[in-house]
């Protein structure tokens, strides 16, 4: 298998920035759904009549791991947006000038 060939893109810088922002928004929506599912999982386990403390702790550890992973992903998403944040603010100021 050889090296992949990357063809030059005809996408404008503005479209690339828009695409990046849209991809972050979609990822944020997906993470929100995951967080909601984790909350529902906790509620379901708590509602079990004969749930044991070890079972609660195991579910809690699972949720903690997921929240930690989501937190790391949020940092990555923020970094994506930060790449263009200053430039976008400058463009916005130019529009109002």
What does pTM read for this prediction? 0.76
Instruction: Report pLDDT for 6.
Output: 82
> What span, in angstroms and rounded, lies between the C-alpha atoms of 10 and 13?
9
Residue 96 has pLDDT above 70, yes or no: no
Instruction: Report pLDDT for 9.
Output: 84
> What span, in angstroms and rounded, lies between the C-alpha atoms of 3 and 35?
39
Q: What is the pLDDT of residues 46-56, one digit of tens each?
A: 999 999 999 99
How sure is the predictor about 29, in pLDDT bands with cuts at 50, 70 and 90? very high
Q: Which residue has the higher pLDDT, 89 or 22?
A: 22
> What span, in angstroms and rounded, lies between the C-alpha atoms of 33 and 25?
13
Mean pLDDT in residue range 9-27: 89
Q: H-helix or E-strand containing 51?
A: none
């Amino acid at each position: 298998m050889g090296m992949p060939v990357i063809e030059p893109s005809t996408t404008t810088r503005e479209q690339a920035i828009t695409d990046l922002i849209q991809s972050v928004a979609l990822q944020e929506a997906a993470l929100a759904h995951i967080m909601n599912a984790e909350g529902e999982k906790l509620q379901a386990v708590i509602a079990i009549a004969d749930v044991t403390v070890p079972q609660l702790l195991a579910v809690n550890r699972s949720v903690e791991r997921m929240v930690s992973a989501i937190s790391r992903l949020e940092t990555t998403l923020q970094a994506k947006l930060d790449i263009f944040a200053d430039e976008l603010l400058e463009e916005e100021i130019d529009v109002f000038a």
